[in-house]
């Protein structure tokens, strides 16, 4: 055979191999999307790529929800905060505990049988730099693999049948203050995962690892150069102004090299639009918490960013809280839905920010479609520009060095933190677990040292209304109206599940698990669980019976005093005093609770 024939054969071979790989990737992604549409299963952390946390199952209704009972339970083997949710794939359930991040596989045909348990190596360097408890927000599934992130930044791909480690990747270094608490998201052949550590001067980033090998494919930072941000200066849109971001859209908003300690960590939830081929996520607070040390808008902290999952290149970025002075992290979930505004329907996303405002954006270009308060006490800003999203800050509520600024609403925990809301396509309402809290905030100068806190503020948080720290609400973000609300003694830090039976499920920090009539907010059923609830309910059907499952186990920032044994009101970044009486109502302990009729 001559050299030209040999060359042609190799070209044909490589071309065919490339097609096969592409086909396999597309098939895996299509399979995951199809599985997420099966209400009998729960195969993604948010139920589907849109993060609507809504199920078409309707066996449990407003008429029979009072007959709910505990079907079975299981200890997670750990005591700290459980902020995740189980997955149900076929006849198997998978979930991950708080640190030391045990991962379990349970046979639903033989309840109580742990098919396998994965125990990652313990890294003692990780817990001391976990800002707000050693939480984890769950595992992901794809093509026979369970993808798990653990506190010290390792990412594991596990064989879903055996628990065998298929590959391991590293996404953080605790010695630099970096940890990982988020649930990964799988898009095509990429595992998408962020990083925690904004209180340790960590510069945030989003990483993409190859789902088959664990190799790092791309990493996009939250501040700094265009190259580090993966911004195309001519194509990436500055969504606040609906124009190309241009050169140095981030660097020009920081003083000197302050961006290198710029925060903008990415520990929240990730969503994906397969049609637009864009992933969406939020970035956290800039470092430090003392705004006087970092003049400028500090882009792109406190922002929503849309990226191409194949390359990481940003399509657009929208900043909600420029020059943050209150720790209003922008990491909360972006729920994808179709929004009708002034008679026109848009592919949209809804984002209920820590700063107390609900943003509705066109998810194709980041244009602001609607913005409203979702808690009436918000006072740090007097208004938000409906065109640009720029807040008009009340000067009396702007924090500054060595001044104790009082009665700022919301507090740093926000009117909603990472606890995810749910969207119901039938009512067109969002069902939101919220905080109802305010704070006093005194900033001070702080120096950076790797692996040590880089905060620079003393906070005290308190209830915004007498003995009310949480509100569970049904909310229309287009009109800005609240249909009904339930007031709770403590912050509502659990996620929400809505169902076609007209029933919403959520848990309270002091341990009540509730079924609520979605039309009027009436509590149809409640049970006091062994520990407070900061996990997220899911539902599935097995052998013709609908079940609702939730991880209980109090902790997280909301309950860091109880979780870590802290007593001084200003400890836990100001959270301890807010829930000083929580220990009178609940205790530590991770338990999986499963309910059915």
pLDDT (tens digit per residue) in 267-282:
999 999 999 999 999 9
**Residue appearing with tokens 């940890």:** 179
Which has the closest alpha carbon to 223: 327, 333, 302? Answer: 302
In whole angstroms, give the CA distance from residue 557 to residue 513: 20
Q: Of 4-13, 59-68, 125-134, 313-322, which gets the smallest average pLDDT?
A: 4-13
**Residue appearing with tokens 């049948």:** 161
Long-range contacts of 346-352, Cβ-Cβ distance < 8 Å, separation of 24 or more? 347/273, 347/275, 347/276, 349/271, 349/280, 349/304, 350/421, 350/423, 350/430, 350/477, 351/282, 351/304, 351/320, 352/415, 352/416, 352/421, 352/430, 352/432, 352/434, 352/477
**Is 11 a residue whose pLDDT tops 60?**
no
% of the chain residues with pLDDT over 90: 94
pLDDT band at 431; cut points 50, 70, 90: very high
**Is 22 a residue whose pLDDT tops 70?**
no
| Collapsed DSSP state (helix, strand, coil) of residue 24 | helix
**Is 12 a residue whose pLDDT tops 70?**
no
Task: Set out the domains of the chain in order of their start, with CATH numbers.
Answer: 37-596 (2.140.10.10)
Which has the closest alpha carbon to 111: 542, 589, 550? Answer: 542
**What predicted TM-score, i.e. pTM, was given to this entire model?**
0.95
**Is 120 a residue whose pLDDT tops 80?**
yes
In this structure, are residues 517 and 66 in contact, taking their beta carbons and an 8 Å threshold?
A: no
pLDDT at 26: 59
Alpha helices, DSSP H only, in 359-432? none
Q: What are the pLDDT digits (tens) for 215-251?
A: 999 999 999 999 999 999 999 999 999 999 999 999 9
pLDDT at 23: 53
pLDDT band at 353; cut points 50, 70, 90: very high
pLDDT at 262: 83
pLDDT at 263: 87
**Is 19 a residue whose pLDDT tops 60?**
no
In this structure, are residues 194 and 222 in contact, taking their beta carbons and an 8 Å threshold?
A: no
Query: What does the block give as tokens for 216?
Result: 């790092």
In whole angstroms, give the CA distance from residue 420 to residue 535: 9
| Collapsed DSSP state (helix, strand, coil) of residue 29 | helix
Q: Of 13-22, 283-292, 560-569, which gets the smallest average pLDDT?
A: 13-22
**Is 4 a residue whose pLDDT tops 50?**
no
**Residue appearing with tokens 């807010």:** 578
Instruction: Fill in the DSSP letter of residue 133.
Output: B
pLDDT at 28: 63
% of the chain residues with pLDDT over 70: 95
pLDDT band at 204; cut points 50, 70, 90: very high
pLDDT at 30: 83
In whole angstroms, give the CA distance from residue 243 to residue 373: 26
pLDDT band at 31; cut points 50, 70, 90: confident
In this structure, are residues 191 and 208 in contact, taking their beta carbons and an 8 Å threshold?
A: yes
Q: How large is the average pLDDT for residues 546-557?
A: 98
Tell me the average pLDDT of the chain: 95
Q: How large is the average pLDDT for residues 559-568?
A: 95
pLDDT at 24: 55
The CA-based diameter of the chain, rounded to the nearest angstrom, is 87
Q: How large is the average pLDDT for residues 272-301?
A: 97
User: Distance of alpha carbon 268 from its chain centroid, rounded?
Assistant: 3
In whole angstroms, give the CA distance from residue 398 to residue 18: 55
In this structure, are residues 503 and 513 in contact, taking their beta carbons and an 8 Å threshold?
A: no
pLDDT band at 10; cut points 50, 70, 90: very low
**Is 527 a residue whose pLDDT tops 70?**
yes
Query: What does the block give as tokens for 41?
Result: 């299963």
**Is 21 a residue whose pLDDT tops 70?**
no
In whole angstroms, give the CA distance from residue 191 to residue 179: 17
pLDDT band at 18; cut points 50, 70, 90: very low
- Beta strands 54-55 and 497-499 are parallel
So which residues are the catalytic ones?
Answer: 327
Strand residues in 137-247 grouped as ranges (E): 140-142, 145-149, 154-159, 165-170, 185-187, 190-193, 205-210, 216-221, 237-238, 243-244
- CA angle in degrees (0–180, nearest 5) for 492-496-501: 135
pLDDT at 538: 98
């Amino acid at each position: 055979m001559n050299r030209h024939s040999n060359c042609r054969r190799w070209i044909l071979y490589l071309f065919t191999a490339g097609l096969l790989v592409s086909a396999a990737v597309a098939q895996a992604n299509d399979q995951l999307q199809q599985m997420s549409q099966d209400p009998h299963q729960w195969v993604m952390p948010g139920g589907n790529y849109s993060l609507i946390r809504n199920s078409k199952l309707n066996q449990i209704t407003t008429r029979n929800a009072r007959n709910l009972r505990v079907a079975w339970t299981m200890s997670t083997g750990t005591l700290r905060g459980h902020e995740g949710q189980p997955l149900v794939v076929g006849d198997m359930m998978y979930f991950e505990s708080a640190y030391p991040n045990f991962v379990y596989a349970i046979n639903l045909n033989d309840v109580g049988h742990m098919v396998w348990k994965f125990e990652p190596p313990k890294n003692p360097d990780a817990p001391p730099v976990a800002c707000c408890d050693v939480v984890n927000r769950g595992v992901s599934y794809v093509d026979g693999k369970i993808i798990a992130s653990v506190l010290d930044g390792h990412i594991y791909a596990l064989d879903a049948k055996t628990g065998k480690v298929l590959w391991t990747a590293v996404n953080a270094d605790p010695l630099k203050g970096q940890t990982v608490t988020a649930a990964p998201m799988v898009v095509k052949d990429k595992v998408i995962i962020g990083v925690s550590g904004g209180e340790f001067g960590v510069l945030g980033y989003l990483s993409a690892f190859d789902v088959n090998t664990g190799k790092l494919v791309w990493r996009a930072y939250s501040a700094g150069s265009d190259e580090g941000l993966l911004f195309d200066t001519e194509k990436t849109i500055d969504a606040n102004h609906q124009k190309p971001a241009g050169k140095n859209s981030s660097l020009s908003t920081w003083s000197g090299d302050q961006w290198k300690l710029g925060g903008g960590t990415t520990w929240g939830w990730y969503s994906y639009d397969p049609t637009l081929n864009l992933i969406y996520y939020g970035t956290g607070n800039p470092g430090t918490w003392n705004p006087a040390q970092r003049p400028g808008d500090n882009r792109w902290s406190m922002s929503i960013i849309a990226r191409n999952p194949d390359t990481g290149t940003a399509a657009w970025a929208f900043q909600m809280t420029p020059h943050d002075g209150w720790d209003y992290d922008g990491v909360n979930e972006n729920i994808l839905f179709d929004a009708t505004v002034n008679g026109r329907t848009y592919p949209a996303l809804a984002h209920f920010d820590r700063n107390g405002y609900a943003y509705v954006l066109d998810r194709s270009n980041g244009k602001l479609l609607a913005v409203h308060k979702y808690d009436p006490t918000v006072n740090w800003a007097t208004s938000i520009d409906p065109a640009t999203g720029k807040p008009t800050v009340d000067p009396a509520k702007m924090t500054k060095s060595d001044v104790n600024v009082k009665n700022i609403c919301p507090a740093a925990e926000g009117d909603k933190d990472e606890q995810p809301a749910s969207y119901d396509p039938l009512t067109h309402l969002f069902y939101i677990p919220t905080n109802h809290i305010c704070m006093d905030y005194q900033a001070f100068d702080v120096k950076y040292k790797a692996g040590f806190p880089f905060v620079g503020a003393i906070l005290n948080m308190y209830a915004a209304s007498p003995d009310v720290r949480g509100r569970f609400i049904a909310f229309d973000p287009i009109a800005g109206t609240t249909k009904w609300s339930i007031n709770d003694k403590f912050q509502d830090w659990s996620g929400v599940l809505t169902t076609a039976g007209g029933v919403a499920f959520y848990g309270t920090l002091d341990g009540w698990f509730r079924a609520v009539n979605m039309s009027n907010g009436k509590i149809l059923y409640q049970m006091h669980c062994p520990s407070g609830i900061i996990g997220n309910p899911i539902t599935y059907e097995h052998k013709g019976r609908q079940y609702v499952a939730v991880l209980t186990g109090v902790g997280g920032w909301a309950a860091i005093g109880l979780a870590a044994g802290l007593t001084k009101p200003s400890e836990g970044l100001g959270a301890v005093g807010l829930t000083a009486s929580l220990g009178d109502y609940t205790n530590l302990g991770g338990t999986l609770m499963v309910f059915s009729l």
